[in-house]
Amino acid sequence: MSVGVLLIDDEDLFREDLATLLRDEGFVCRTAADGEQGLRLAEEVAPDVVVCDLVMPGIGGVDVVDRLATLAPDTPVIVVTAHGTMETALEAFRRGAADYLLKPVNPDELIHKVERVVELRRLEREVRYLRRELSEARVGTYLVGESPALAEVRRLIEKVAPVDSTVLVTGESGTGKELVARSIHEAGPRADGPFVVINCAALPRELVESELFGHVRGAFTGAHRDRPGHFELARHGTLFLDEIAELPLELQPKLLRALEQKEVLPVGATAPVRTDARIVAATNRCLEEEIEAGRFREDLYFRLRVVEIRLPPLRERREDVPVLVEHFVRRLNPRLKRRVLGVDGAALQALMEAPWRGNVRELENVLERAMILSEHETLSLDDLPVDLAGSLGEAIEAPVPDDLRQAARAFELQHIRRVLGEAGGNREEAARRLGIDASTLYRRLKDREEAG
C-alpha cells in the first residue's frame, strides 16, 4: 500500500520540488500552501506522515504540530527548519514533532526520514494492536469474580473502553474503583500511554490547582521552575481523578473548562496548554446529595457522568468471595513468603457470610493478617480476626422469620452457602451435592439474596 505524505509549505517552488521528489519515490503526496489548509487536508485524507515548514504566515509549524496532536495523535510530523530557527524546532519537539529537516533539504535525507517515521508508526500500531488484543482477552481481569453484578461491570468496561468519553465510577470504599479505571485504560486505544492517578482528597487544598494544571516559574513562593500538571503528564493517556467529590468548589469551574475545551491554564501562566487526556473520575459519595448541599457543581457532574459504572459492594456479590479468596492467597504467598494452600470449609463459609463493610479491600487485609499469623497451610476459622468472627456469628445466627415462605428462602440460602463453603467454593461440586446445575445454583443465590 502506498504511503501518504502531506507536505505543508508556503514557498510554492520549494513545495512542488519536494512533492515531485516524493512522488518519484512512490509516495502519494498532497500539498498545502499554509497551516490552515494543511490542517483541513490532514482531517480529510489522514496522511501517514506530515512534512511541515516551521515558519509560515498565519498558522505556523509549531501550531500545526500542536493541533495535529489532538486531531491525529498517531500521525508523525517532520518539521522543516532553517539554522536560525532551531529554538522553534525544539519547541515543536516539545509539542510532539517526530523529526526535523534542515534547509536546504537533502533529498536522500528527506526520503530516509519519511521512511523511518512511517516504519516507526507501523511498529507503534503493531505494538498497540498486540496490547489491545491482550487487553481484550483480559478486560476486567483486575476485577476478580464471576457474579452477574461483576459481569455487568465488565460489559460496561468493554463498551466504554474504545471511546474517549468521560466515565464516572461510583461505589463504596474498597470496591475497586481504581481497578475499573485501569481496566478501561488498558482495554482502550490509549493503553500505550500513561495512566496517571491523582487523589483529590490526599492533596493539601492550596496545592490542588498546581497539581492538576501545573504552574510556571515564579507563580508562587517555591515555584523555581515550570512544572507540568497531571493533565499534561497524562497526555495521550488516561487521568484518573479519585475522590472527585473532594475537589474544592472554587476549582470545579476550571476542571469543567479543561474537560470541555481540552486545555488547561497553569498557575501563573497567561496562555493555555492543550491536553487530550482521557478522564475517568471516581467517588464513594452520592454526588446528587453533594449538589443539593451546594458542594458540587451540577454542570460538572453531568460532564463527568457521560457514562456511569457502579461497582457493587461485596455483600451484593457474595458468590465472588471464594474466587477472591483464592486470588488473594495466590497473590500474597510470594510477598509474605508463605505456602498457604487456601481456607477450609468452615472458614470459607464464614467469609461468605461476613458483612464486609470495607468490601474487597477489607477481605484482602483479613486474609493477609491470617496468612501472617497462621502456622498452617490451610487457614481455619481460628485464624480469622476476633472482631470479624463476632460479626460472622451474628450473620450466621440471624433469626428465622415467622413467614413460612420467607423462612424457607432463608433456610435455602443458608443451606446453599454452607454446601458451597464445604465444597471449598467450587460451584460445580456444590451444585452436584445439591442436585442442581451450576447456573441454577447461582440463580438461586441471587434470587434469595435479593428477596432477603
Dist CA 362 CA 314 (whole Å): 10
In a domain, 20, yes or no: yes
Q: Are residues 307 and 329 in the same domain?
A: no
Q: Which of 312, 337, 353 is the last residue of a domain?
A: 312
Q: Which of 259, 287, 312 is the last residue of a domain?
A: 312
221: CB partners within 8 A, 6+ apart: none
Q: Are residues 83 and 103 in the same domain?
A: yes
Q: Are residues 206 and 282 in the same domain?
A: yes
Q: Are residues 308 and 199 in the same domain?
A: yes
In a domain, 195, yes or no: yes
From the list 235, 269, 242, 243, the residue with the least C-alpha distance to 254 is 269
pLDDT per residue of the chain (452 residues) written in tens, 0 to 9:
578 899 999 999 999 999 999 999 899 999 999 999 999 998 888 888 999 998 888 898 888 988 888 777 778 999 988 765 667 777 777 778 888 888 888 999 999 999 888 888 777 766 655 554 554 444 455 688 888 899 999 999 999 999 999 999 999 999 999 999 999 999 999 988 999 999 999 888 888 899 999 888 888 877 778 888 899 889 899 999 999 999 999 999 999 999 999 899 899 888 888 888 999 999 999 999 999 999 999 999 999 999 999 999 998 898 899 889 988 999 899 999 998 988 887 788 788 888 898 999 999 999 999 999 998 889 988 898 866 644 444 444 444 454 545 555 666 777 777 777 666 667 777 788 887 877 777 677 666 555 55
CATH number of the domain bearing residue 63: 3.40.50.2300
Q: Are residues 343 and 392 in the same domain?
A: yes
What pLDDT does 33 receive? 93
In a domain, 133, yes or no: no
Q: Are residues 356 and 255 in the same domain?
A: no
Q: Are residues 285 and 149 in the same domain?
A: yes
In a domain, 43, yes or no: yes
What pLDDT does 429 receive? 77
CATH number of the domain bearing residue 387: 1.10.8.60
Q: Which of 312, 338, 364 is the last residue of a domain?
A: 312
What pLDDT does 400 receive? 45
Q: Are residues 238 and 250 in the same domain?
A: yes
In a domain, 113, yes or no: yes
Dist CA 415 CA 40 (whole Å): 68
Interior angle at CA 216, CA 210 and CA 218, nearest 5: 105
In a domain, 362, yes or no: yes
CATH number of the domain bearing residue 280: 3.40.50.300
Q: Are residues 335 and 220 in the same domain?
A: no
What pLDDT does 92 receive? 78
In a domain, 134, yes or no: no
From the list 184, 194, 173, 172, the residue with the least C-alpha distance to 143 is 184
What pLDDT does 166 receive? 96
Is the backbone of residue 203 left (phi > 0), alpha (psi -120 to 50) or beta?
beta
Q: Are residues 183 and 290 in the same domain?
A: yes
pTM for the model stands at: 0.60
CA distances from residue 281 to 231, 236, 240, 305, 408 in whole angstroms, order as listed: 13, 17, 6, 9, 43
What pLDDT does 404 receive? 42
Preceding peptide of 148 cis, ω within 30° = no
What pLDDT does 319 receive? 87
In a domain, 193, yes or no: yes
* Residue carrying the nine cell digits 497524562: 234
Q: Are residues 306 and 325 in the same domain?
A: no
- Domain span at residue 275 reads 139-312
CA distances from residue 256 to 244, 250, 297, 330, 382 in whole angstroms, order as listed: 12, 11, 9, 43, 52
What pLDDT does 395 receive? 44
Dist CA 416 CA 412 (whole Å): 6
Q: Are residues 147 and 163 in the same domain?
A: yes
Number of domains in the chain: 3
